[in-house]
Amino acid sequence: MKTAALSLLLLPLLVVGCSKSALEKVQRDGQPDIDMVKDDDREMNAAIAKARQTLPAFVKALQSPTTAMQGFSVKAEFKDANGSEHMWIARPEWDGQNIVGVLANEPNWVKSVKLGDPVKIPGNQISDWMYVENGKLVGGHTERVLFARMSPAERAEVEKSGGFKL
């Protein structure tokens, strides 16, 4: 069964790895852990569908942010001959059809992009979006699936490190 890698990104682009999680993790020296999720994971696929359905709300907030909004990020799947990874895009902008930004994760398998590369992703190919408003996570649909699979101690550490509440 194939798997896709989902990097857990927290603001400001801080990644927290939890060593005693029910999730299968790929640990990387000096890099954030990668949470492995099967392609046929129903909860994760439903979260991706919800993120795509609610993208217009994200775009509206992105284009007219209030002072209470920060840390806008978008997640998308990147594929090449080496594999597939869902990774975060920092400094996102909406050009009317695409998210344009900068790759915010160091790929583990995909070799066609690297941390800091400019990227352009069609809106219908995003897998998640998020920002923080008044200390609360908005969006983060796939992240919420991952959070639900963590222990209470791991969730508390993620919230503390990320500076927000779910």
Residue-wise pLDDT for 1-16, tens only, equals 333 433 334 333 333 2
State the chain's mean pLDDT as an integer.
Answer: 83
pTM of the model: 0.81
Q: What is the pLDDT of residues 84-112, one digit of tens each?
A: 999 999 999 999 999 999 999 999 889 99
Look at residues 76, 91, 96, 161 and name the one whose alpha carbon lies nearest to residue 131. 91
Asked if the model's pLDDT at residue 138 lies above 70, the reply is yes
pLDDT at 39: 83
pLDDT of 34 = 67
Average the pLDDT over 46-60 and give the result. 97
- Phi and psi at 128, nearest 5°, equal -170, 165
Q: Which H or E run contains 144?
A: helix 141-148
Provide the number of structural domains found in the chain: 1
DSSP H or E run through 62: helix 55-63
CA-CA distances (angstroms) from residue 33 to 14, 46, 61, 87? 11, 23, 29, 12
- Determine the structural domain holding residue 34 and report its residue range: 3-162
Is the pLDDT assigned to residue 35 strictly greater than 90? no
Cα separation, 22 vs 146, whole angstroms = 10
pLDDT at residue number 32: 61
